[in-house]
Amino acid sequence: MKLRNVRFGALVGALLTAPMMALMYFADKWLDLSFTPFDVFDWIARILPGPVVTFGIDLMIDGIGLVGASVADTAKTAEQIMGLMMFLIGGIVLTAVVFAIVETRGRSSRGDGLGLLVGAVVGIPIAIITANIGQSSVNVAFNFLWPLLLFLTWGGASVASARKLIFGIAPWGVSGEDEGEERSVTVVDRRQFLVRMGVATATITVAGAGLGRVLATSERQQFEAELEAMREKMPDSQPMVELPNENDPLKPALGTRPEYTAVRDHYKVFIRSQPTMIEEAGWTLPITGMVDNPLTFRLQDIMERYEARSQFVTLTCISNRVGGDLISTTYWTGASLQHILAEVRPQAGATHLDITCGDGFHETVALDLIASDPRVMLAYAWDGRPIPFDHGFPLRIWLPDLYGMKQPKWITGIEVVGEEGYRDGYWVQRQWDKVARIRATSVVDTVAVDSVIENGDQKLLPIGGIAFAGARGISKVEVRVDNSPWQEAQLRSPLSETTWVIWRYDWPFDAGNHAFEVRCVEADGMPQIEEYNPPRPSGATGIHQKAQLIESS
Ligand SMILES: Nc1nc2c(c(=O)[nH]1)N[C@H]1C(S)=C(S)[C@@H](COP(=O)(O)O)O[C@H]1N2
Ligand SMILES: [Mo]
């Protein structure tokens, strides 16, 4: 096998795979067919063993951290880029393999059939994946046939290109007559062929991706308009304007993260490469299983039949590093699950809710937990507006004190089950903590060198940040500069008993390079864990530290 032919194969592979991806993207945005490259990526993420996926997630988060980017902003984009690259590289490798096969079979073998065969061998499994896990409102048959059609085309085109570039047999030209002849391929021939192919495939790629992009923008706007219309129908439809601790005299040190996260800045985590778009019109929530009164709710029912409950909530992800940004605070509104369950009436022997979601995610919630806490809610609003699509529209659950991994969004079904029907949730099946109770953490957000306070002849440097212990509350935060003794910080009253607390310590500073550390104590006196633990299986622990050079003024 000639290296040159493998290189031609790789080049042709890139030239064929790029327009294929662009066409897939265009069809996704135009006809709502599923986008196969992401489906393949998501499928792999789903079937890989838990520890491998966890390793991948951690590698990605640490990598993003290393280059100093925000994990909350960047992780999804990084995943999508990986998904696209994987597909493209797969296409390049497979096409190179096709070239090798064509070369091995020799010039005299007829090419017909081979293209369709490789197209089918590669395309059928991939089409099955898309049809099964793809997100699309279109009939599965189309989600199977569309990628298959593209793969058959790829197969045909790659075999034809191989025969042309290796043996000089004109694509689609019948070669029967030439077969015996010594036809040599000239460099000019090849170059001409590749240039033509490059122009054609680049045109398709740019057109497909460009049009897809335009359609994607208008789709997004349409969804947003729908959400805005939903908002009118909501019982509690005022976005938060005044926060309950507005008058607290303790103001955050300059540079502390916003106490109330703007919804667009709320961190996002979900198992797929794209958020799950659920349209309200076609959505209902069946609550079935071991109940006396199975019911199917529309969103309207949940909003109108039950008293609306609202709560300031800090949500955090078990993947968050100490000091990381996978933690945010907003105002949740929904219906207490106690009220809803009172109506469906779980039967004797029922122990859990098995909650399923539009993206294939699932979790189980113990009925005991719901019975013990009226705050557990099925939430339909954040910040007084319908929950954004990225965050679980139309409905998600809130479970105080637990990491996000236990809290399904995009809920599509709830089944009441007993010990028999119990199964572990999505991440528990992948060996993450079964309870996933939030671990206490505290963070130095800022050493506010630009807002030094002059107090007589003393100068104070505000240091500040957050502390959070789920629904358990914070009683004390302490700061240590270099290796001097721990000093108690001041606490701002939190937005609620289930949000983070803002702390501040005004330090009589001296210039130099300093290290600032923070630790906290829960309301019941339990200190945070100071030893380092990685995020898995049970959540990161350790002391957060920030180093800062302070210039003498
Ligand atoms: N359906 C569904 N719900 C889900 C997830 C998911 O992937 N799918 N991820 C969970 C995890 S791990 C977290 S941390 C939170 C994140 O919620 P957010 O993206 O709205 O911040 O959603 C939880 N609920
Ligand atoms: Mo998470």
CATH code assigned at 461:
2.60.40.650
**pLDDT of res. 553:** 64
Does the residue 237 lie in any domain? Answer: no
Which one, of 479, 495, 451, lies nearest residue 545 by Cα?
479
If you take atom 13 of ligand 1, which residue's CA is the nearest one?
404
The verdict on 397 and 463 lying in the same domain is no
209 CA to centre of own chain: 22
Task: Please indicate whether residue 271, judged by its CB atom, sits closer than 6 Å to ligand 1.
Answer: yes
If you take atom 16 of ligand 1, which residue's CA is the nearest one?
269
Task: Please indicate whether residue 409, judged by its CB atom, sits closer than 6 Å to ligand 1.
Answer: yes
The verdict on 194 and 93 lying in the same domain is yes
Question: Which ligand lies nearest the alpha carbon of 42?
Answer: 1
**pLDDT of res. 182:** 42
Task: Please indicate whether residue 354, judged by its CB atom, sits closer than 6 Å to ligand 1.
Answer: no
User: Measured in angstroms, how far is the CA atom of residue 271 from the centroid of ligand 1?
Assistant: 8
* Alpha helices (H) along 322-400: 337-344, 367-372
**Ligand 1: which of 269, 364, 401 to mutate, judged by most atoms within 8 Å of the beta carbon?**
269
Task: Please indicate whether residue 369, judged by its CB atom, sits closer than 6 Å to ligand 1.
Answer: no
If you take atom 20 of ligand 1, which residue's CA is the nearest one?
391
Does the residue 250 lie in any domain? Answer: no
Side by side, the strands of the sheet bearing 474-481 are 487-488, 474-481, 512-522, 544-550
Question: Which ligand lies nearest the alpha carbon of 360?
Answer: 1
Residue that is last in its domain, among 421, 453, 480: 421
Q: Residue 505 forms beta bridges with which residues?
A: 463
The verdict on 389 and 464 lying in the same domain is no
Average pLDDT over residues 166-171: 84
Task: Please indicate whether residue 407, judged by its CB atom, sits closer than 6 Å to ligand 1.
Answer: yes
Q: For 449, phi and psi rounded to 5 degrees?
A: -65, -20
User: Measured in angstroms, how far is the CA atom of residue 410 from the centroid of ligand 1?
Assistant: 9
The verdict on 381 and 461 lying in the same domain is no
Task: Please indicate whether residue 157, judged by its CB atom, sits closer than 6 Å to ligand 1.
Answer: no
Task: Please indicate whether residue 325, judged by its CB atom, sits closer than 6 Å to ligand 1.
Answer: no
Contacts of 390 (CB under 8 A, 6+ apart): 268, 270, 275
Residue 348 has pLDDT above 50, yes or no: yes
Does the residue 238 lie in any domain? Answer: no
Q: Which domain holds residue 534?
A: 441-550
The verdict on 407 and 456 lying in the same domain is no
466 CA to centre of own chain: 24
The verdict on 269 and 416 lying in the same domain is yes
pLDDT tens per residue across span 386-441: 999 999 999 999 999 999 999 999 999 999 999 999 999 999 999 999 999 999 99
3-state helix, strand, coil split of the chain in percent (to 5) is: 40, 25, 40
The verdict on 118 and 200 lying in the same domain is yes
Does the residue 281 lie in any domain? Answer: yes
Task: Please indicate whether residue 76, judged by its CB atom, sits closer than 6 Å to ligand 1.
Answer: no
Give the predicted TM-score (pTM) of the model: 0.92
If you take atom 15 of ligand 1, which residue's CA is the nearest one?
404
The verdict on 486 and 525 lying in the same domain is yes
* CATH code of 309's domain: 3.90.420.10
User: Measured in angstroms, how far is the CA atom of residue 327 from the centroid of ligand 2?
Assistant: 10
Question: Which ligand lies nearest the alpha carbon of 536?
Answer: 2
The verdict on 417 and 447 lying in the same domain is no
Does the residue 241 lie in any domain? Answer: no
**pLDDT of res. 180:** 44
Task: Please indicate whether residue 361, judged by its CB atom, sits closer than 6 Å to ligand 1.
Answer: yes
Residue that is last in its domain, among 358, 386, 421: 421
Task: Please indicate whether residue 504, judged by its CB atom, sits closer than 6 Å to ligand 1.
Answer: no
Average pLDDT over residues 466-494: 97
**pLDDT of res. 181:** 44
The verdict on 455 and 396 lying in the same domain is no
Residue with tokens 């539009």: 358
Cα–Cα distance measured from residue 313 to residue 325, given in angstroms and rounded to the nearest whole number:
15
Cα–Cα distances (Å) from 442 to 52, 191, 322, 471, 502, in that order, read 29, 62, 8, 15, 10
**pLDDT of res. 417:** 98
b/e sequence 416-449, b meaning 16+ C-beta within 10 Å: bbbeeeeeebbbbebebbeebebbbbbbbbbbbb
Task: Please indicate whether residue 332, judged by its CB atom, sits closer than 6 Å to ligand 1.
Answer: no
Does the residue 60 lie in any domain? Answer: yes
Does the residue 160 lie in any domain? Answer: yes
Average model confidence (pLDDT) for the chain?
93
The verdict on 37 and 125 lying in the same domain is yes
Does the residue 397 lie in any domain? Answer: yes
The verdict on 172 and 28 lying in the same domain is yes
Number of structural domains the chain divides into:
3
pLDDT tens per residue across span 57-77: 999 999 998 898 999 889 999
Task: Please indicate whether residue 436, judged by its CB atom, sits closer than 6 Å to ligand 1.
Answer: no
Index of the ligand 1 atom closest to the CA of residue 266: 21
Residue that is last in its domain, among 217, 239, 271: 217
pLDDT tens per residue across span 143-152: 999 999 999 9
pLDDT tens per residue across span 272-293: 999 999 989 899 999 999 999 9
User: Measured in angstroms, how far is the CA atom of residue 258 from the centroid of ligand 2?
Assistant: 21
Task: Please indicate whether residue 299, judged by its CB atom, sits closer than 6 Å to ligand 1.
Answer: no
Element (H, E) at 550: strand 544-550
Q: For 491, phi and psi rounded to 5 degrees?
A: -115, 135
User: Measured in angstroms, how far is the CA atom of residue 268 from the centroid of ligand 1?
Assistant: 7
